[in-house]
Amino acid sequence: MKTDVTVRETLLREIAKCRSCRFCVDVCPTYQASEGVESVSAYGRLQIIKYLLTGVLAFDDPMTYCLYSCLLCRSCETVCKSKGQNLEICELILLGRTLLSGKLAQRGRNATI
């Protein structure tokens, strides 16, 4: 089983591979339903995970909502792969959720990842 440090390193390494093209944003159903809130798109979620891990963002309820509102439909992955990248975006979001949920269970509202 992976340790939290290994999961953090994996997330940061894989998220760094994103070219920030944002093609995944337009195909995201939660982005479309939000009428353009980028933090509930695939790209926005990856950025949230990255900034939570690096300490740029503080963990709070809106961050939890953004990470858990993903439907895991994989539309983002389809367009990502069609544009020449091979990011497993949903797997990265699931890893971020796993890391987050473990910290929430341990520390509640004072959790950091």
**To the nearest whole number, what is the mean pLDDT of the chain?**
90
pLDDT for the residue 59: 80
> What domains, with CATH codes, occur in the chain?
4-108 (1.10.1060.10)
pLDDT-derived band at 107 (thresholds 50, 70, 90) equals low
Calculate mean pLDDT across residues 35-56: 94
Reported as a single tens digit per residue, the pLDDT across 18-32 is 999 999 999 999 999
Count of residues for the chain? 113
The tokens of 104 are what? 């929430």
* CA distance linking residue 76 with residue 71, whole number of Å: 11
